[in-house]
Structure 1
């Protein structure tokens, strides 16, 4: 039977079958997103039944930490303290933080000890903050975020409503150029395809987290060794969240577009370089899982549009498909599978629209960058980072 089928047909059939299988996996993974929780609202009213310690890790962040601290000093109780853990910045960051500390005594500047071997700088700063914290909850906030008024109360309300021990929040992106909006949404979609929708229940090995706004019970964190489990991880947020989920903690990932905004990278080049080093999540999963996810991204995100163009060219040109010996059912099957995959991809733009303050034409055309995003994911999976946010690492072996 196999001998009767041209090998080119067998290759196309295998591709079609692999795409159909990945599409089924993807639909199953995304289906819970239909009932996901709405964006978390801010809470402006104070509450005094719990306390929160915010930790902000800094290394030469003077050019962007100001809006973050402005947002934090507007937070009422349960915010107890803001611990800015600085790693000996040389751009005036400590001096700037001190000016905010004079305005709000809840802000404290801490200088961490020299980075130990085997630790990533940000994770070491978070660990330092944990040892100094007094709040019942730890809330990690990145220096490049802009907290809305009522963020702290809002995240506590969300954690209690969902009975979460650990919960992080997807931000709203702001200030992106048209070029960034053409590429960054395609990279973001690869994350959604690999983990599922924000606000939906996830299995421990598929949990997604965002270290830009990451809330965890301090007692639980201390019980399981603090941030040390993620000490060598460039995707420390996901590594820690999945570790705690595997230990039985209830972990959530919610839509925080109403409570926090972020302008993480100044240019498309910086975003491509810096985010591209960590968005593979290879530090947080097995290598097999990581490469299977790469294959899924290629098959149902990157390839459908080019294949539809190719198949359409054959059809409209009147050429045979692609030779007289190829079965027509295979042409039809490929058209159906790739059309469904492309329609699902385009629908993701509507689902993610609330995550962008400004969208414009390039956002809605970002599916044109799917192949580039898949290529960046592949390169990132194949390489071990040696630098991150101004630090260089001789060798960091991240635990899976």
Structure 2
């Protein structure tokens, strides 16, 4: 067991290390209640006819693209065309797109050229689609194949962009989870974003704190032309955030809104795939400076990664009769952080789709704070690794 002096020094160190992070965390969380409400489905007006071109990048998406194609087909006349840019899938993805095109002529299938050096597959496909889209469309909407667009999605994006005078807006979705491990781990990973950045719907963050979601990424065509399409995010594995922050630094108005009522997403199968695939991009290092990355890692460790362990260990010492001011203060601080974390479950609960018959494993959502140390560990691991493969593509470390 540790002596009183050593325990006192550790308690003081924790107070300094964690206590300085709490005001930063609270300053972000307290902006949440004043955020813009979630988008509601809208009905387009005649003046919006043919306003939007949609681009869907695909690579071996046959097992999950059908709900996306169906959801896009249900969008109304504001959608001029739906361009599916396929990167030479080998699993029947193209066949499914062709079947959708027989029912809805707005669908157009094309394959992208070989990946140029310095480009990641997703921004290259989006860039290809943008260059081949109709110049008559005023807006470009990038949609991922794992999404499930709901009726009124595109009209709601147009309405929000007009109301807030956005040049670029992306949406946070409603997540569809099935397996027990997902319900336990995925909310903890999502919380790492909420701790570092403002909630969806908070207005006008600083350019370096802008958040974005490429699963639903809506931008004025004229703005994309001025930005050089997706080229500014060519080599980024978080191209959505990279491009959105670049747009913000160029003076364009960027919004990140709550789209839980208009778009859903089923990203990964199980906790293992969630850990491997989503965890690799959540550090956002490609869109941040090294100082910002280190600051975010410190904040996550101090406010999300440590409280569970620290509370448990220090409470044991209190139970053994160790009682002095710094120890009590350190215990109180970490219990306070845990209370915040559990309270935030109520705030993010609408971001998860329950359906008419909720998953039997959905109760594990309420225990997701117990996965926080793992979630923070995943961000640390990802922050110091460069991806070598993504969605079936292999990248050399020199790319």
1:191 positional shift: 0.7
Tell me the CA shift for residue 293 of structure 1: 0.7
| Residues 46 and 77 in structure 1, CA contact (< 8 A), matched pair in contact too | no
Shift in Å, 1:6: 4.4
Distance in 2 of aligned mates of 1:314 and 1:158: 53
In the other structure, the counterpart of 2:220 is 217
| Corresponding residue to 1:274 among 272, 277, 281 | 277
Alignment of 1:109-258 (within 5 A): 109-134=109-134, 135-201=137-203, 202-258=205-261
Deviation (angstroms), 1:45: 4.0
SS of structure 2 residue aligned to 1:81: strand
The answer on 1:44 being equivalent to 2:40 is: no
Contact 2:177 2:266 in 1 (8 A): yes
Q: Secondary structure at the match of 1:277?
A: coil
Contact 2:179 2:269 (8 Å CA) reproduced: no
- Preserved contact between residue 171 and residue 217 of structure 2 (Cα < 8 Å): yes
How far residue 95 of structure 1 moved from its aligned partner, in angstroms, is 1.6
Q: Which moved more, 1:353-362 or 1:287-296?
A: 353-362
The match for 1:346 is 342
SS in structure 2 of the partner of residue 261 of structure 1: strand
The answer as to whether partners of 2:56 and 2:82 remain within 8 angstroms in 1 is: yes
Distance 2:224 2:292 in 1: 26
Residues 396 and 349 of structure 1, relative CA distance in 2, 3 Å threshold: farther
C-alpha offsets along residues 264-302 of structure 1, whole Å, 9 cap, x if unaligned?
A: 112221111111111110000012211221111111112
Paired with 2:91 and 2:45, the residues of 1 have a C-alpha distance of: 35
Q: Structure 1: which 5+ runs fail to align?
A: 322-327
| Matching residue of 2:61 | 61
| Aligned twin of 2:98 | 98
1:51-79 Cα deviation digits (max 9, x unpaired): 01100000111111111010111111211
Does the aligned pair in 1 maintain the 2:83–2:109 contact within 8 Å?
Answer: yes
Shift of 1:174: 1.0
* 2: CA distance, partners of 1:271 / 1:309: 27
Q: Is the 8 A contact 2:7 2:327 kept in 1?
A: no
Q: Distance in 2 between matches of 1:268 and 1:8?
A: 36
Pick the aligned partner of 1:319 from 306, 318, 321.
321
What SS does the corresponding residue of 1:319 show, helix, strand or coil? coil
Residue 106 of structure 1: CA displacement?
0.7
The CA distance in 1 between the partners of 2:287 and 2:398, in whole Å, is: 14
What is the match of residue 86 of structure 1?
A: 86
Q: Is the 8 A contact 2:237 2:281 kept in 1?
A: yes
**Does structure 1 retain, via aligned residues, the 8 Å contact 2:52–2:140?**
yes
For residues 124-144 of structure 1, the C-alpha deviation after alignment (integer angstroms, 9 at most, x for no partner) is: 000001101121101000001
Structure 1 segment 286-301 matched on structure 2, within 5 A: 286-301=289-304
Question: Would you say the 8 A contact 2:44–2:78 is kept in 1?
Answer: no
Q: 1:112, CA displacement in angstroms?
A: 0.7
Cα distance between partner residues in 2 of 1:171 and 1:156: 17
Supply the distance in 1 between the matched residues of 2:338 and 2:177 (Cα, whole angstroms). 28
- TM-score after normalising by structure 1: 0.93
TM-superposed CA distance for 1:11, in Å, is 3.6
Q: Distance in 1 between matches of 2:215 and 2:126?
A: 12
Count the aligned residue pairs.
Answer: 386
- Deviation >4 Å, runs of 4+: 5-8
Q: CA deviation at 1:46?
A: 4.4
Equivalent pair of 2:177/2:352 in contact (CA under 8 Å): no
Deviation (angstroms), 1:396: 5.2
Give unmatched runs, 5+ long, in structure 2.
Answer: none
Give the CA RMSD over aligned residues. Answer: 1.5
- Give SS of 2:47's match: coil
**1:63, 1:42 → 2: CA distance?**
27
Alpha-carbon distance between aligned partners in 2 of 1:175 and 1:362, rounded to the nearest angstrom:
11
Alignment of 1:306 onto 2:309: yes
